[in-house]
Structure 1
Amino acid sequence: MTIDLKLLHHALALARHRHFGQAAAVLNISQPTLSRNIAALEKQLGMKVFERSHRDVVVTPAGEDVLKIADELVGRAEALSNRLELLRDGRGGRLRVVAGAYIDDIAVQPAAIELIKANPSLRLEILEREWTAALSSLMSDQADFAVADILALRDMSSLRVENLGVLQGVYFCRGDHPLLAKSEPKPDDLREYPFVMPGISLSRMSFIAEIDSGMRIDERGGGVLPSIAVSSFRSASDIVAATDAISLGHPTQIADGLAAGHFALLHLPWMKKLPSVEMGVAWKRERTLLPAARAFINLIRKHIRAAQAAESLATSRRRRRPPGIA
């Protein structure tokens, strides 16, 4: 049995909007055409995908399984079409990248600015996601490659993984936080305050396990959620600046806030070393990275090296300061 991908695409649109008129408008076709196409799909499948009423359109239990498969097939078809355009002339098509919440801020966005300036005709899509969502986007073909913490990705046989460098984090709070009155805060002292950051992988749970009383395992997504889970570092830093929440970030991300007195670093004497993450790029093993992707990755690597240099400078400055507040 051969199923027209166009019919599957139309079924997905109808499932999202649950209304023939609205779905038809989004698809830029007439409502009768959409009705005929859905009927044709159900005839080919030999089952009802939707239940109709005067007010609503509901997916049947069997239809839910059909639409899961349809979503994967349509996504793969769109990804293939997009890659062929990029391959044909190097400029057409859309390069799609998913980035972890920290590395997006540190290196991906600055690299994107350089890439766009050098290639104004390039069409680029950047998705900023917390760790589990970034992995999901990569595996469902919503991105050509991912830039993220790669510790847990190395064991995935379906992926190719390339190291970009190690980045070290620092714990921080707002500039007049009550914790700053303690010269040597203990884990219990930090547990009195909420921890805010994007979700992280299970392999990085030690970063907050001792100090976040509200941390929990996300059984659905497979990652770790802090007391206050956000999707971007910018959201986390805004919350820290306005509340007693504490967070974790890279020195380059909070340098301006530290200089202005909006943020302060937390010195945690029981920690032998600050948390560090191995950043890298990952893509599906059956894919070949195209020249545009390689050019982008090289720019990302350059900005990671710049962040490492700034990190080393910040570390040397902290070591010259007396014990207490970092």
Structure 2
Amino acid sequence: MDLRQLRHFAALAENGSFVAAADVVGLSQPAFSRSIQALEHSLDCQLVDRSSRELRLTAQGLLVLEHAQRLLLGAHKLRNELVQFNGLSAGELRFGCGPTPAQALIPEALADFVRAYPGIQIDWEINHWDALSKRLLEEQLEFFVADARDFLGDPLYQVQVLSPSIGCFFCNSGHPLLARASLTLSDVMQFPLVAPRLSPSSRRAMARVSGRGDFRATVECGQFDAILRIVERSQAIGVATRQALQAPNERGALVELRLDDLPELRFSYGIIRRAGKLVSPAAQAMIAAIVEADQRQGASASGASQ
């Protein structure tokens, strides 16, 4: 058994046929079949049910596939991290974040990172918090940025809390609410609400503010640009942080709503890693860039509020 054979077997399982898998790995079909047969011989078991017209793995095949995927991932991570120890001139980085940090914080940090380390290949995933946490535990991501409150105290995660973000409601510049001399939360709740998919802690915070038993937006969306477009083209009210809304606000198309009875709504974002797991040098550098960008944005927000 060697990694090459395991890679061939994983390709077979992924592509569903000997012909397609052989093409993917760049072998002739006879050579590919011999590689799978050699793996079966070395493990002394049958991996593929050859009596079926469709490709099916045996029970032993499914077990081998599970271990093969872990071994191949581990080998890839080892090569990647060894390359990065030579000065971050090459290698790859995989991380994720929620829709709100993706609007301002992460692009600013990524700009700094790309300037400093142009040779690193980056796979940046924008998704909601529960999908990102699953990807982290499966070791498909090295870290992600999302609402930290649901991960604090969980032994599976290590959390580095960032500066608090202030939440707000916003609408388009022609919205009828802007004609009123004063606004309350009940006025806002008469309109459809558009927001990213919120974590349980954020939903509870929004429920307390809105006086509801639970909070669900009329439209939940994983792409912040889509939320902005919906609000720009309808009477829906958007939910965001002031940092995320800053750039769209500069264009004048969107306006933050100032409510007389709205208490300060805080979102607590953080950098979330697997507890007890070392991250690659590239991940360490990216985390440092995020922290620096967060500090700059926090200082800018404090100056603007004074």
Q: Normalization by structure 2: what TM-score? A: 0.80
Match of 1:284 in 2: 274
The residue number in structure 2 matching 1:253 is 244
State the alpha-carbon separation in 2 of the partners of residues 178 and 49 from structure 1: 65
Q: Given the alignment of the two structures, is residue 303 of structure 1 paired with residue 301 of structure 2, yes or no?
A: no
Q: 1:98 to 1:22 in 2, by over 3 A?
A: same
Could you tell me which residue of structure 2 aligns to residue 100 of structure 1? 98
Q: State the SS of the aligned residue for 1:162.
A: strand
When residues 232 and 18 of structure 1 are mapped into structure 2, their CA distance, relative to the original with a 3 A threshold, is same
- Between the aligned partners of 2:2 and 2:217, the Cα distance in structure 1 is 44
**What residue identity is the alignment partner of 2:202?**
R
**Per-residue deviation, residues 283-322 of structure 1 (Å, max 9, x unmatched):** 2233334444333222212211222234335545xxxxxx
**1:311, 1:248 → 2: CA distance?**
18
What is the one-letter code of the residue matched to 1:138?
Answer: L
> Structure 1's 65 and 246: CA in aligned 2 closer, same or farther, altered over 3 A?
farther
Unaligned runs of 5+ in 1: 217-224, 317-326
Partner of 1:46: 45
**After alignment, is 16-25 or 128-137 more displaced?**
16-25
Give the fraction of aligned pairs with identical amino acids, expressed as a percent.
Answer: 27
CA distance in 2, matches of 1:88, 1:306: 30
Q: Report how far residue 77 of structure 1 moved.
A: 3.3
Note the C-alpha offset of 1:260: 3.5
Q: 1:89 to 1:254 in 2, by over 3 A?
A: closer
Question: Cα distance 1:246–1:33, how it changes in 2: closer, same or farther (>3 A)?
Answer: farther
Shift of 1:129: 2.0
Asked if the contact 1:107/1:304 (under 8 Å) is kept, the reply is: yes
Judged with a 3 Å threshold, the aligned counterparts in structure 2 of structure 1 residues 53 and 229 are, in CA distance, closer, same or farther, namely farther
| Aligned counterpart for 1:164 among listed residues 162, 165, 171 | 162
Q: Name the stretch that deviates more: 56-65 or 280-289.
A: 56-65
- 1:86-235 equivalent positions in 2, closer than 5 A: 86-180=84-178, 183-187=182-186, 190=189, 192-197=191-196, 199-209=197-207, 226-235=217-226
Stretch moving more, 241-250 or 44-53: 44-53
- Rounded to whole Å, the distance in 1 between the matches of 2:299 and 2:40 is 59
Q: How far apart are the structure 1 equivalents of 2:142 and 2:40?
A: 32
| Structure 2, unaligned runs of 5 or more | none
**Native 8 Å contact 2:88 2:119 kept in 1:** no
- How much does 1:89 deviate? 4.5
Does structure 1 retain, via aligned residues, the 8 Å contact 2:249–2:255?
A: yes
Equivalent in the alignment of 1:237: 228
Cα distance in 2, alignment partners of residues 252 and 196 from structure 1: 15
- How far apart are residue 228 of structure 1 and its match? 2.8
| 1:99-133: CA deviation from partner (whole Å, max 9, x where unpaired) | 22222322222211122212222333322222112
Q: Secondary structure at the match of 1:125?
A: strand
Match of 1:219 in 2: none
- What amino acid is the match of 2:273? W
Deviations 1:245-271 (A, max 9, x none): 332222233234334332122334443
Structure 1 residues 64 and 239: CA distance shift in structure 2, 3 A: farther
Code of the aligned partner of 1:33: A
What pairs with 1:78-93 in structure 2 (closer than 5 Å)? 78-93=76-91
- CA–CA distance in structure 2, aligned partners of residues 281 and 15 of structure 1: 34
- Measure the CA separation in 2 of the matches of 1:152 and 1:265: 27
Asked whether the 8 Å contact 1:51–1:60 carries over to 2, the reply is no
Counterpart CA distance in 1 for 2:298 and 2:107 is 16
Amino acid at match of 2:299: A
Cα gap change, 1:13 to 1:290, in 2 (>3 Å): closer
Q: Aligned AA for 2:20?
A: Q
Task: Kindly state the Cα deviation for residue 59 of structure 1 after the two structures are TM-superposed.
Answer: 5.4
CA distance in 2: counterparts of 1:38 and 1:179, whole angstroms: 67
Alpha carbons 1:49, 1:64 under 8 Å: kept:
no
Question: Larger strand proportion, structure 1 or 2?
Answer: 1
| Distance in 2 (alpha carbons) for counterparts of 1:57 and 1:191 | 55
* CA distance in structure 2 between the partners assigned to 1:15 and 1:141 by the alignment: 20
